[in-house]
A and B are shown apart, each in its own frame.
Chain A
């Protein structure tokens, strides 16, 4: 029928789309049936299609009864004015040194963005607004929200988003995919190594003191055998595109990366907002992510548990990503548990159910190390479950990601990832790093302190855009404050050049304006590395802003990875 084939039930799940009611879709005009088949087979020519559409319209067929490709094409002549009113669309759209995702330096639209630009130009402004409103409503009613810490009122907010998709070509994606696979494999080997023989430290590739001074290093993990040797099974790495057009890795999130639910819900809303455009672009699907995640978790179950009981452990309703936890649990059909639902006895983890205690085999943990087990980690936290770590150590339950993985996404350890890749895989990094100054080294620190106004300084263990100084946008007082903190604890900070990373067009009012974007693809690692073709493109919605974190006023975009 007219609707593009929907993924099997379970992939998008019961929560996702309203049931399709085929009888409500207008039947195709008879003349179009034959043609539709040929279009699908890819052998109908453009004039043939046009002819069909024209004759159908002449015969008084309602546009709603035409096949999808036809509807798209008759929209163009319906719009007022010349077919491509690009100038008004790009009202105030400065191009400078930064890479623009949509336009080349000269101003012309990149080939893969052309269809999007044409569609935008052909839509009357009020139609664009209407679609924007209907997408807004869709986010609202689904309650797609996140919580901002440190504010009293309105702590629950709709995740801001931009209506236009970000497009990535198959070639670009191929490079990202290979690069991430290589990187995650090496990082995992690094964790395995550091928590067992520590060869890489003995060979002096990475300084010992850097690893052992990391606050996310967990000595409890020494010598512990994790299932399949997989430490990091759910990863979200942040990529940027520099003005050369190449992607670099800004940071790895190896603890509890979030945002995947926004990737999935963005896609659902975008499919409804630009159905024809989506269809004509040939976008690779991402909807099977929950299923892949479930498969990954299942593959890590302790041995001898063929039907593992898998749960998602959440810190609870006040966590900023609670929506995501409920969303994923529902999409995977597993129980969402809090620490107070779990008890351990004889090194076995159980959950309290109305039918008594039920053994838990795999825990997809969305609680930080520190809060997971008051007996081993922070004793003042009741978010986790006492005894969990010992059960884990005994091999009776799999907890993923493993404890202590924060070591490998420490921003100072990050500087050594290309060396790790060379050491473990004997390859060069496909995705390069951003130049990073380690403040523990005197020479580098002096350079950084002299150039604070040009650099970005970050605390090594923080995430979410907290604990950061952006040199060019900072005040002298802020710089002094950071300089003092750096002198006091140099190991705790790193510095990077202020990056002029790429910008993508966003719909601001009625026209397009460029905004800085990053890209966070989601990597799963169970029996092998799996990356769904997509990711969360985060946007710094404020003009000129370089911070894309949702906790700092960033928004998101749907990311379309094209088949070709």
Chain B
């Protein structure tokens, strides 16, 4: 498939994943702020923005409502949900002939939803419902993507974008929360700490899934284990890395060209890091460095995908 098309599909997918992540984090942060104990509103906001990569224009200014509004609706702010949805739609528009009509219609609807005055009014009166309906829109899009699009290279690039973005976002989130949560090894939690841990899990929609594996006994290191090393939960980093590996293999199978050793090696290393390390070893070592390494590897994978599939030099391609 055309490199430009693959690039657009990849970014369409990344933007939507990013929008979803932002919405979820905002939702959790806002609801944690309702409880007066624990961290202050300012600290929470700073944690959240740190987990979103410290975007500009969203520094704490005390006006919670205005900041939340910026994060959702400000189409000029590169971290806002609207900006991400616009980006996804613009990418989709450029490859209109490659995606299914259903995908296009869903994405178009989401786009119009973000720009409708109704959503803004709803946001003022009931922020949770407004955020939930945005997430619904994104979920619907993912659903029709999986059911109406041919699972060829294009679809694999969509998966690639989704998993890479998700792995990166989860690693960032854990890196931000890890110093405060995981360095206390107390088994007993006050009610506030419990809420804190639930919030972290809910940022990754993983509260219920965690309970199924570990029961509702929330323990920091188990949460870390779950979000890092679980192989069956779609928001766990290990699952995402497996997804990336699988997508690259499928792209190779469908296209016939073998991915470069370099790319295979980076993904393999990340896969091994998450597959053959126990949580005990991670906690005994430098946890922050471990998490940081995951992020670095993700960026490296992104760079290699670009260098190999999108912006390759003509000389290298002619030499093959």
Chain A contacts to B: CB under 8 angstroms: 15, 141-143, 316-317, 326-327, 329-330, 335-338, 340-341, 343, 345, 350-357
> Interface centre among B3, B97, B312, by most A CB within 10 Å?
B97
In the complex, chain B residues whose CB is within 8 Å of the CB of A142: 101
In the complex, chain A residues whose CB is within 8 Å of the CB of B314: 343, 345, 350, 357
Cβ of B60 within 8 Å of any chain A Cβ, yes or no, is no
In the complex, chain B residues whose CB is within 8 Å of the CB of A316: 94
With contacts A141-B105, A143-B104 taken as known, whether A352 is within 8 angstroms of B4 at the C-beta atoms is: yes
Q: Which of A15, A336, A343, A356 is within 8 Å of B101, CB to CB? A: A15
Pairwise interchain contact B4-A355, C-beta atoms closer than 8 A:
no
Query: With A and B bound together, what is the CA distance between A316 and B4 in angstroms?
Result: 12
Interface positions of B from 58 to 112, Cβ below 8 Å from A: 93-94, 96-97, 101, 104-105, 108
Interface positions of B from 1 to 47, Cβ below 8 Å from A: 1-4, 6
Query: With A and B bound together, what is the CA distance between A550 and B3 in angstroms?
Result: 34
Name 23 A/B residue pairs within 8 A (Cβ), A-sorted.
A15-B101, A143-B96, A316-B94, A317-B94, A327-B97, A335-B2, A337-B2, A340-B4, A341-B2, A343-B314, A345-B318, A350-B317, A351-B2, A352-B317, A353-B2, A354-B3, A354-B6, A354-B255, A355-B255, A355-B257, A356-B312, A356-B317, A356-B320
Query: With A and B bound together, what is the CA distance between A321 and B192 in angstroms?
Result: 59
Chain B contacts to A: CB under 8 angstroms: 1-4, 6, 93-94, 96-97, 101, 104-105, 108, 153, 157, 251, 255-257, 309-310, 312, 314, 317-318, 320
In the complex, the number of residue pairs spanning A and B with C-beta atoms less than 8 Å apart equals: 58
In the complex, chain A residues whose CB is within 8 Å of the CB of B96: 143, 326
Query: With A and B bound together, what is the CA distance between A352 and B2 in angstroms?
Result: 6
Top 10 A-B pairs ranked by shortest CB distance? A355-B255, A326-B97, A352-B3, A330-B97, A357-B317, A355-B257, A354-B309, A326-B96, A356-B317, A354-B6
Chain B binding surface, main DSSP class: helix
Q: Known contacts A15-B101, A330-B97, A343-B314; can you find 9 more A-B pairs with CB under 8 A?
A: A143-B96, A338-B4, A350-B317, A354-B6, A354-B153, A354-B255, A356-B317, A357-B317, A357-B318
Closest Cβ–Cβ distance, residue B27 to chain A (whole Å) = 31
Pairwise interchain contact A353-B3, C-beta atoms closer than 8 A:
yes
In the complex, chain A residues whose CB is within 8 Å of the CB of B2: 335, 337, 341, 351-354
Chain A binding surface, main DSSP class: mixed
Query: With A and B bound together, what is the CA distance between A423 and B129 in angstroms?
Result: 75
Closest Cβ–Cβ distance, residue B170 to chain A (whole Å) = 27
In the complex, chain B residues whose CB is within 8 Å of the CB of A340: 4
Closest Cβ–Cβ distance, residue A157 to chain B (whole Å) = 15
Query: With A and B bound together, what is the CA distance between A340 and B7 in angstroms?
Result: 13
Query: With A and B bound together, what is the CA distance between A257 and B143 in angstroms?
Result: 39
Query: With A and B bound together, what is the CA distance between A326 and B255 in angstroms?
Result: 23
Query: With A and B bound together, what is the CA distance between A350 and B157 in angstroms?
Result: 22
> Interface centre among A142, A341, A353, by most B CB within 10 Å?
A353
Query: With A and B bound together, what is the CA distance between A454 and B317 in angstroms?
Result: 62
Query: With A and B bound together, what is the CA distance between A356 and B310 in angstroms?
Result: 9
In the complex, chain B residues whose CB is within 8 Å of the CB of A15: 101
Query: With A and B bound together, what is the CA distance between A353 and B7 in angstroms?
Result: 10
Pairwise interchain contact A317-B3, C-beta atoms closer than 8 A:
no
Q: Nearest chain-B residue to A141 (Cβ)?
A: B105
> Interface centre among A142, A336, A350, A352, by most B CB within 10 Å?
A352
In the complex, chain B residues whose CB is within 8 Å of the CB of A327: 97
Query: With A and B bound together, what is the CA distance between A329 and B5 in angstroms?
Result: 14
Q: Nearest chain-B residue to A322 (Cβ)?
A: B96
Q: Nearest chain-B residue to A156 (Cβ)?
A: B93
In the complex, chain B residues whose CB is within 8 Å of the CB of A330: 97
Pairwise interchain contact A354-B317, C-beta atoms closer than 8 A:
no
Closest Cβ–Cβ distance, residue B254 to chain A (whole Å) = 9
In the complex, chain A residues whose CB is within 8 Å of the CB of B4: 338, 340-341, 352
Pairwise interchain contact A317-B309, C-beta atoms closer than 8 A:
no
In the complex, chain A residues whose CB is within 8 Å of the CB of B101: 15, 142
Query: With A and B bound together, what is the CA distance between A143 and B107 in angstroms?
Result: 13
Closest Cβ–Cβ distance, residue B100 to chain A (whole Å) = 9
In the complex, chain A residues whose CB is within 8 Å of the CB of B105: 141
In the complex, chain B residues whose CB is within 8 Å of the CB of A337: 2
Closest Cβ–Cβ distance, residue B1 to chain A (whole Å) = 5
Pairwise interchain contact A317-B255, C-beta atoms closer than 8 A:
no
Pairwise interchain contact A355-B256, C-beta atoms closer than 8 A:
yes
Query: With A and B bound together, what is the CA distance between A92 and B255 in angstroms?
Result: 63
Query: With A and B bound together, what is the CA distance between A45 and B209 in angstroms?
Result: 70
In the complex, chain A residues whose CB is within 8 Å of the CB of B93: 317
Query: With A and B bound together, what is the CA distance between A350 and B314 in angstroms?
Result: 10
In the complex, chain A residues whose CB is within 8 Å of the CB of B312: 352, 356
Query: With A and B bound together, what is the CA distance between A466 and B314 in angstroms?
Result: 41
Query: With A and B bound together, what is the CA distance between A15 and B93 in angstroms?
Result: 16
Query: With A and B bound together, what is the CA distance between A354 and B104 in angstroms?
Result: 23
Q: Nearest chain-A residue to B4 (Cβ)?
A: A341
Closest Cβ–Cβ distance, residue B15 to chain A (whole Å) = 17
Closest Cβ–Cβ distance, residue B113 to chain A (whole Å) = 16
Pairwise interchain contact A354-B318, C-beta atoms closer than 8 A:
no
Query: With A and B bound together, what is the CA distance between A327 and B105 in angstroms?
Result: 16
Query: With A and B bound together, what is the CA distance between A253 and B51 in angstroms?
Result: 57
Pairwise interchain contact A341-B318, C-beta atoms closer than 8 A:
no
